């Protein structure tokens, strides 16, 4: 059995990938795409053309709600896509494959997303890895295009797609949906988000708390407090900030207790600041701290 992890990163310098919906919901497609290029990059910077993998990569993409691979006889608009990957093999035979997929954006979504979007996956395999590189490239490709399809759906502002994403088992896609909710309509999705407060991934719970803090509904205070995880610094910080925005007697009582009893000096400062904001009625501003890419790591197993 091999273990692997995947990490979705936002890579700067290629495109600006927004998570803001269009003014009205766009039709979902699907849009036809074609793999224009597959390349392997070596440690010394050299590039190897991997045209032999075009069929493998195309088959791995499959068909999504908004994307499908164009058939050989397809007529009509086609979105160009490229894939490149880099392999690193450790002394024990383990392998890390870094793969980036890049996709041309449909014309109607370019005002929202820009001309190009991309997703990056880091896939790690422990143990002997001989003969499995093509398989790992296919696995990473499938995952990256699932993310690209999700970004297109979110840009269209399809609320049913958003709700569906909140129920998937992949925390990375849940996080994308929560980011969209935070930036758009947190109040409308408040009841859906409450169910994520018990999620096993603390990144999801912290973002769920943040979304509920912007829902402007004091009824959310109780669920946030009941699901608070004192051992998670990230989630605790978001709990204090959310309660400062929501206010009310229960929120104030919790913040007063935290400000007086928090052992962690940084979290105590956060609790004190949130309490002051709650008492003065000034809403806490969303964090301007850039997201740490290492926060977006999902682990699993593959036979």
CATH number, domain of 242, equals 1.25.40
Q: At 285, is the pLDDT very low, low, confident or very high (cuts 50, 70, 90)?
A: low
Same domain? For 153 and 6 the reply is yes
Q: Residue 185 above 50 pLDDT?
A: yes
Domain identity same for 146 and 255: no
Indicate if 119 and 59 belong to the same structural domain. yes
Over residues 79-108, mean pLDDT: 89
CB of 156 within 8 A of CB of 184? no
Other Cβ atoms less than 10 A from the Cβ of 103: the count is 25
Q: Is residue 230 part of a domain?
A: yes
Task: List the structure tokens of 72.
Answer: 């050989």
62: left (phi over 0), alpha (psi -120 to 50) or beta: left
> What pLDDT does 299 receive?
34
Domain count, the chain: 2
How far, CA to CA in Å, does 51 sit from each of 83, 88, 279? 10, 20, 63
In this prediction, residue 90 has a pLDDT band, given cuts at 50, 70 and 90, of confident
Same domain, 204 and 173: yes
Query: Domain of 19?
Result: 2-157
Q: Quote the tokens at residue 92.
A: 């024990």
Query: pTM of the full predicted structure?
Result: 0.70
Q: Is 298 a member of any domain? A: no
Q: Has residue 205 got a pLDDT over 90?
A: yes
Q: Check whether residue 7 and residue 149 sit in a common domain.
A: yes
Angle value at C-alpha 218, between 217 and 224, nearest 5 degrees: 100
- Domain for residue 220, yes or no? yes
| Residue 93 lies inside a defined structural domain of this protein | yes
As a whole number of angstroms, the distance between CA 158 and CA 195 comes to 20
Query: If you average pLDDT over every residue of the chain, what do you get?
Result: 82
82 and 121 in a single domain? The answer is yes
How far apart CA 195 and CA 265 sit, in angstroms, is: 30
In a shared domain, residues 228 and 181: yes
Q: What is the CATH number of the domain that holds 87?
A: 3.30.160
């Amino acid at each position: 059995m091999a273990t692997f992890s995947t990490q979705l990163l936002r890579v700067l310098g290629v495109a600006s990938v927004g998570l803001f919906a269009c003014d009205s919901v766009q039709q979902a497609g699907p849009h036809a795409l074609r793999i224009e290029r597959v390349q392997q990059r070596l440690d010394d910077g050299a590039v190897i053309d991997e045209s032999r993998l075009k069929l493998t990569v195309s088959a791995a993409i499959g068909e999504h709600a908004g994307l499908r691979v164009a058939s050989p006889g397809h007529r009509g608009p086609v979105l160009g896509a490229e894939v490149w990957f880099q392999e690193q093999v450790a002394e024990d035979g383990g392998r890390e494959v870094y793969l980036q997929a890049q996709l041309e954006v449909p014309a109607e979504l370019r005002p929202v997303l820009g001309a190009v979007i991309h997703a990056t996956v880091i896939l790690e395999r422990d143990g002997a890895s001989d003969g499995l590189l093509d398989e790992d490239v296919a696995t990473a490709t499938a995952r990256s295009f699932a993310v690209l399809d999700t970004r297109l759906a979110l840009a269209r502002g399809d609320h049913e797609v958003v709700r569906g994403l909140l129920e998937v088992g992949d925390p990375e896609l849940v996080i994308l949906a929560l980011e969209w909710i935070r930036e758009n309509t947190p109040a409308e999705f408040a009841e859906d988000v409450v169910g994520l407060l018990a999620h096993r991934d603390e990144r999801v719970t912290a973002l769920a708390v943040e979304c509920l803090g912007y829902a402007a509904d004091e009824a959310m205070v109780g669920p946030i407090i009941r699901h608070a995880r004192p051992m998670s610094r990230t989630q605790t910080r978001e709990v204090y900030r959310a309660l400062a925005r929501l206010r009310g007697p229960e929120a104030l009582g919790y913040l007063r207790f935290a400000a007086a009893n928090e052992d962690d000096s940084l979290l105590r400062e956060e609790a004190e600041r949130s309490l002051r904001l709650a008492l003065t009625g000034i809403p806490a501003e969303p964090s301007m701290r850039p997201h740490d890419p290492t926060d977006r790591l999902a682990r699993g197993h593959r036979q």
